A and B are shown apart, each in its own frame.
Chain A
Amino acid sequence: MSLNRIKAVLLQEFFITKDLTVMMDLPFLSIVTIIMFGFVSIFLTGTASFVVARYLLVGALLWDVLRIAQYSMSVEALWNIWSRNLCNMFIAPMSLAEYIVAQMISGAIKAILIFTITTLIIFIGFNFNILSLGIFNLILFLINLIIFSWSSGMIILGIIFRYGTRLQALAWGLIALLQPLTAAFFPVRILPQYLQTIAYLFPPTYIFEAARANISNTATNWNLIGIAFIENIVYFIISAWFINLMFRNSRKLGQFSSNEQ
């Protein structure tokens, strides 16, 4: 694996992040959303429940980590496909693994940077310090959420490689499907029983549960985090296998080059 080639993809990511569309999709949308949740939390604190307000803020801050890291992984490839440049990149001696690792690093950096910004906004503007959940807990949450976003990013990328841009909406849409399923903003018990079973198939569900538990008690919930981590490892292995298979099938069927025609 060449560090220079990983750096090349990271450089491209850095350059394209200046584009207005990317700025609107990533920091702008995150900041506007968190401010909106900030005001909703003030409203709820005054009229309903302090805890519910905190649930929403914690859910919004952590959910955005998942969204940004996954978006970054999938949409960057689409920028290249739309410009007919992805084939050019793979005509260079870059391996799929180098490309994916670079996307993972880039997604993680963007997610953490924007998380830092939104956390500061919530702290300064809405008097909530996410560090009150416990710094160690927070690190575990972020690691798990980012690993899951990598896995979902690989699945989406694999589908786009194999089936082309007609399925590009998954890059934005698939993660939205997981928002209610992973109970980002409410306890899992709110979901019907059959959806609860499905919800527990996804690592973020455990992370959001653990984070909500930490609002009142900062003790690390090893049970929830442990299950999330094990599930994450399984998802990661399956996703890595899947994207390899899809990349190979895409080249075998001529779809990889057709994506840019």
Chain B
Amino acid sequence: MQDIVLEVKNLTKHYGIFTAVKGISFTVPKGKVIGLLGPNGAGKTTTIQCLLGITLLDSGSVTYFGKDFAKNRQYCLQKINFASSFNTLLGRISVWENLLVFAHLYDIDNSKKKIMELAEYFEVTELLSSLFHNLSTGQKTRINLVKSLLNDPELILMDEPTASLDPDIADKTLTLIEQLRKSRELSILYTSHDMEEVTRICDEVIFLDHGKIVAHDTPLGLTKRIPNAQLKLTVEGDRAIAEKFLKEYKQKFVFSSPHVVTINTEGKLIPKLIFGLSKNNIYITDIEVKKPTLEDAFLQIARNKKYVA
């Protein structure tokens, strides 16, 4: 049986008459990365804030490591941490001073050694004496990660940690997160708008929409639920025969040029179509298959299309 580090049951949060989160439940197992996705206003940030205690939930429960968060706030917060590209540290003091403050807040033994170790790991040693507000966005993100690991957390809540980073720095940051997860068996609750990033690092994805969980699966499982794929063929042969064949199969298709046809079909029909066209003396010289991505699943939800959860 998997160890559960975070269990959320029927979490509900209202702001006046608006319900931001409607009774969501999920768990984060030890060592797993769970993605929390959804369009703007879906309730991700409110959920994270409730999980951190900076916003109080109206009903439901949050349990960390088997202990009720509401009754054991300090115990739970000591074992978790938070990294976000939106929350920063105090700008007018140095990185070292900021980290020293947080080391004391987390009651860390030998705090100076710990800060140096993490600074070396994230390659930010040379930044320690700089004022925090003088750092670039990428540097601030890495310093935030140092801060988020000061207390050797068992769970980190990450709210878009790579937002506003350039692709190179974002990739390095993700690699660091992947390494951390492996080396520490760290659990992560991860929000992001970048679907490639989520597909890369998340074991499971929870889709939120209008405060509800509308899907919860692995990234692959979610994309498989979208049956449609796009098949783009470059063909040689009688176009009328190809059209007749595709019509018989009730396929939606369009010839963008006399030799290029784009077919919107179900993924499982692709081999049949290719084989059928070949059998009808249509020679296929190039094949391009576009399978649904997590982004397609996200867009389907965001645009409120019918979705089978």
Q: Is A8 an interface residue (CB 8 A)?
A: yes
Contact pick for A15, options B77, B97, B103, CB 8 Å: B97
Q: Is B260 an interface residue (CB 8 A)?
A: no
Report the tally of A-B residue pairs with Cβ distances under 8 A: 106
Query: Chain A residue with minimal CB distance to B79?
Result: A93
A-B residue pairs, 6 tightest by C-beta: A8-B104, A92-B105, A93-B77, A93-B74, A15-B93, A15-B97
Q: How far is the CB of A134 from chain B (nearest CB, A)?
A: 39
- Contacts A11-B101, A89-B105 given; indicate if A80 touches B90 (C-beta within 8 A): yes
Q: Is A95 an interface residue (CB 8 A)?
A: yes
Is the contact region of chain A dominated by helix, strand, or loop, or is it mixed? helix
Contacts of B191 in A (CB 8 A): none
Contacts A/B (CB < 8 Å), 30 sampled: A4-B105, A8-B103, A8-B105, A9-B101, A11-B101, A12-B97, A15-B93, A79-B90, A82-B91, A83-B92, A84-B86, A85-B87, A88-B88, A88-B89, A88-B102, A89-B105, A90-B53, A90-B54, A91-B52, A91-B53, A93-B74, A93-B75, A93-B105, A251-B55, A252-B55, A252-B56, A253-B15, A257-B54, A257-B55, A261-B86
Q: Would you give the 0/1 interface string for B99-137, flagging 1 where the beta carbon is closer than 8 Å to chain A?
A: 011111111000000000000000000000000110000
B interface bracket (residues with beta carbon within 8 Å of A) = 35 or more
A251 touches B56 (CB 8 A): yes
Contacts of A21 in B (CB 8 A): 92
Q: Would you give the 0/1 interface string for A1-23, flagging 1 where the beta carbon is closer than 8 Å to chain B?
A: 01011011101100110110100
Q: Would you give the 0/1 interface string for A232-257, flagging 1 where the beta carbon is closer than 8 Å to chain B?
A: 00000000000000001001111011
Enumerate chain A interface residues (CB-CB to B < 8 A): 2, 4-5, 7-9, 11-12, 15-16, 18-19, 21, 79-80, 82-85, 87-95, 248, 251-254, 256-257, 260-261
In the complex the two chains form, what is the Cα distance from A79 to B132 in whole Å?
13
In the complex the two chains form, what is the Cα distance from A85 to B101 in whole Å?
12
Contacts of A85 in B (CB 8 A): 87-90
A92 touches B77 (CB 8 A): yes
